[in-house]
Amino acid sequence: MAGYDRECEVVVVGAGYSGLAAARHLARAGVDTLVMDARHRVGGRSFTEVTPSGFTVDRGGQWIGPTQDHLAGLAAELGVATFPTFTEGQGVELRDGDRHQFVGLIPTSDAEGAADGIACMLHLDLASFDVPLDAPWTAPDAAALDAQTLASYFDTHLTSASARVILEVAVKAIFGTSSAELSLLFTLFYLHAGGGLTNLARTTGGAQERRFVGGSQQLAEGMAAELGERVLLGTPVESVFYGPDRVTVGARLVPTGADPAETDTDTDTDTTRHPLLVHARRAIFAMAPVLCGRLRYSPPLPGNRDQLCQRMPMGAVTKVHVIYDDPFWRADGLNGQLVAPGAILESAFDNSPDDASHGAIVGFVAGDDCRRMEMAGPEARQAAVLRALERAFGPGARTPVEVVEQHWPAEHYTRGGPVAVSTPGALTALGPALRAPVGPLHWAGTETATEWCGYLDGALSSGIRAADEVLDALKGEPVGLD
Amino acid sequence: MASTEELLEAYAEWRTRSNANPRLTKMVRGWDRVIHFTTIDTGQAFTMRIEGQQLSELAVGHEGQPDVVVTGISEDFCDMFWGDLNPSEKYMSGEITLLGSQQDVMRIDAISMVAFLDS
């Protein structure tokens, strides 16, 4: 394949919400910007698809809640409407072979356990306010908090085993991993950034309050449309060559129709092997740390930045849509919410469209369940999901029209989901490397956000923050490449 | 529609239970606050104080500068104080609203839920 070079002032690597927001911000400021993405689509962890049966599903991030002002502003600007997540009626709890119905945030079959869980959530949420959003590693007792896991916190603050299992369900749904893998300091930061665990777990009034009519990827597509030919898809960046004030990224060119992941077999680091070289004054890497860490840098990244990329692994989640002719559970006074500790599908919501033209339940197979069921295979996973739904919502759940799974750990250009987490010790040792530029290299992505970290809103604000950083850096520098 | 007398009676019962609940008293440790209640259907006004981990008697009228303002329907307040209503459901539907700092609202929300679950 013939190679070619492109020049621009700023190259953005990653065309998810974060990268597109950064590029749009720069383009609007008159900066010549290119955005590159390995895939043949924009959106990153936001991925809307029409299924073979004609249903629109969000395979990735899909919700918008109060105080997500960047996201709300973008939706309003692009004319994308939202509608409330269906919450009328009761949720279902499956536990220890029994089935219970409940109202509100938390299952109440064990009232003592539920009260214990709520008291613990409040304690966590209040403690989170002591963790500075821009520098969690400077929190009072940061080292002690970062030396603990969330699991060890639960061990000492929960008296009820029942509360523990319910909170673990919430943790796995939010982070895609169990409390044993989460730094307590990181958890408190994350809760503060999203308004608290109660807020993150809630539908109405919380992070899962509303959805986008037609899916969330439209917002990414809207941003990409404004950027037009500045967006280069099918260009997986593999190498980064940088000096004090310039950077070149080397990418493959993947023909339309070919899978970028399937063609990722070239291990030669020679720049001549990259058909596309983009030269710029600055680069923004708008993706999770683990993806940044997979690129080859010359010279190598500073040790702390590289270590950070190793110490913020992605969660593991398979998002499952189970689609029915109609939302039949509503006729039974159920709102589609499921909490099923110990089941393969531990949490689920009603994900039917606003007009209820068909029914849909969306659920999450997360953490170790996600990893275990990858080994068991999709058929076993789907069978386990349908068993849980049948127990929760009755025999009608046994015969869906379609089951759509998005197994994020196997996504070559995401590597897991819904978010990267910080392991114990990482934030205090390496946190300052999260956003600190390395020469002309800047870091964006929702993991770098100080508000709504891990969410679509955080992705947008992180892109704008990185773009502002670049605009500041370019001030006073000579225009153009030497 | 609940009368002032009915609300005071229900609250008195709720207060007795809450002040005897170790989990709740722990949740309000170091959290002395003035809370105003307003009923939107009957226009009644009440003031509750939390001092020294104890709930005060409910005073008729609004007294002092409130830290949190709670607004809702009189019957819902009555049912909540009797332990017959899950307040979370009413918050989620917007039928009971809380106005105050994020931390104060968070705490009131959790306290009312725990009071319900432990009732």
For residue range A17-52, list pLDDT tens digits in order. 999 999 999 999 999 999 999 999 999 999 999 998
- What is the predicted pLDDT for the residue at A83? 98
- What is the predicted pLDDT for the residue at A482? 46
A111 touches chain B (CB under 8 A): yes
- What is the predicted pLDDT for the residue at A268? 47
- What is the predicted pLDDT for the residue at A3? 73
Tell me the pLDDT of chain A averaged across its residues: 94
Cα separation, A59 vs A409, in Å, equals 13
Domains of chain B (ranges; CATH) run 4-117 (3.30.1050.10)
A130 touches chain B (CB under 8 A): no
Task: Please give the residue that has the higher pLDDT: either A270 or A437.
Answer: A437
- What is the predicted pLDDT for the residue at A260? 86
Instruction: Dig out the tokens for B28 from the structure.
Output: 């309000």
> Is the confidence at residue A289, as pLDDT, over 90?
yes
- Give chain A positions within 8 Å (CB) of B88: 103-106
Phi/psi at A114 (nearest 5 deg)? -65, -45
pTM for the structure as a whole: 0.94
Q: Average of pLDDT values for A337-359?
A: 96
Beta strand A441-444 with A282-286: parallel, antiparallel or unpaired? Answer: parallel
- What is the predicted pLDDT for the residue at A266? 52
Least confident of A31-35, A94-98, A266-270, B94-98: A266-270
- What is the predicted pLDDT for the residue at A269? 44
- Give chain B positions within 8 Å (CB) of A162: none
Longest Cα pair distance anywhere in chain B, in angstroms? 35
> Is the confidence at residue B5, as pLDDT, over 60?
yes
A198 touches chain B (CB under 8 A): yes
- What is the predicted pLDDT for the residue at A49? 96
- What is the predicted pLDDT for the residue at A255? 87
Q: Average of pLDDT values for A347-364?
A: 97
Least confident of A4-18, A123-137, A262-276: A262-276
pLDDT digits (tens, 9 = 90+) for A300-333: 999 999 999 999 999 999 999 999 999 999 999 9
pLDDT band at A105 (very low <50, low <70, confident <90, very high): confident
Choose the mutation target among B103, B117, B118 for the interface with A, i.e. most A CBs under 10 Å. Answer: B117
SS (H, E, C) chain A: CCCEEEECCEEEECCEHHHHHHHHHHHHCCCCEEEECCCCCCECCCCEEECCCCCEEECCCCEECCCCHHHHHHHHHHCCCEEECCCCCEEEEEECCEEEEECCCCCCCCHHHHHHHHHHHHHHHHHHCCCCCCCHHHCCCHHHHHCCEHHHHHHHHCCCHHHHHHHHHHHHHHHCCCHHHCEHHHHHHHHHHCCCHHHHHCCCCCCCCEEECCCCHHHHHHHHHHHHHHEECCCCEEEEEECCCCEEEEECCCCCCCCCCCCCCCCCCCHHHCCEEEEECEEEEECCHHHHCCCEEECCCCHHHHHHHHCCCECCEEEEEEEECCCHHHHHCEEEEEECCCCCCCEEEECCCCCCCCEEEEEEEECHHHHHHHHHCHHHHHHHHHHHHHHHHCHHHHCCCEEEEEEHHHCCCCCCCCCECCCCCHHHHHHHHCCCCECCEEEECHHHCCCCCCCHHHHHHHHHHHHHHHHHHHCCCCCCCC
Share of chain A above pLDDT 70, in %: 96
In one-letter notation, the amino acid at residue A137 is W
Cα separation, A332 vs A427, in Å, equals 47
Q: Average of pLDDT values for A444-467?
A: 98
A196 touches chain B (CB under 8 A): yes
Choose the mutation target among B92, B93, B116 for the interface with A, i.e. most A CBs under 10 Å. Answer: B92
Domains of chain A (ranges; CATH) run 4-46+216-301+438-474 (3.50.50.60), 47-66+82-105+203-213+315-413 (3.90.660.10), 106-201 (1.10.405.10)
pLDDT digits (tens, 9 = 90+) for A395-406: 999 999 999 999
- Give chain B positions within 8 Å (CB) of A112: 117-118
pLDDT digits (tens, 9 = 90+) for A49-62: 999 889 999 999 99
Task: Please give the residue that has the higher pLDDT: either B67 or B102.
Answer: B67
pLDDT band at A261 (very low <50, low <70, confident <90, very high): confident
pLDDT band at A335 (very low <50, low <70, confident <90, very high): very high
Dihedral Cα A272, A275, A280, A284, nearest 10 deg: -110
Instruction: Dig out the tokens for A211 from the structure.
Output: 């959805």
Cβ-based contacts under 8 A for chains A and B: 62
pLDDT digits (tens, 9 = 90+) for A191-233: 999 999 999 999 988 999 999 999 999 999 999 999 999 999 9
- What is the predicted pLDDT for the residue at A391? 97
pLDDT band at B118 (very low <50, low <70, confident <90, very high): confident
Q: Which B residues 13-42 touch A at CB under 8 Å?
A: 23, 26-27
- Give chain A positions within 8 Å (CB) of B29: none
In one-letter notation, the amino acid at residue A171 is V
Choose the mutation target among B80, B85, B90, B109 for the interface with A, i.e. most A CBs under 10 Å. Answer: B109
pLDDT band at A479 (very low <50, low <70, confident <90, very high): low
- What is the predicted pLDDT for the residue at A272? 52
- Give chain B positions within 8 Å (CB) of A103: 86, 88-89
pLDDT band at A477 (very low <50, low <70, confident <90, very high): confident
Beta-carbon separation of B88 and A121 below 8 A: no
Cβ within 8 Å of residue A367, ≥6 positions away: A172, A176, A177, A178, A181, A315, A316, A317
Select the residue of B88, B102, B118 nearest A105 (Cβ to Cβ).
B88
Beta-carbon separation of B92 and A105 below 8 A: yes
- What is the predicted pLDDT for the residue at A259? 86
- What is the predicted pLDDT for the residue at A104? 81
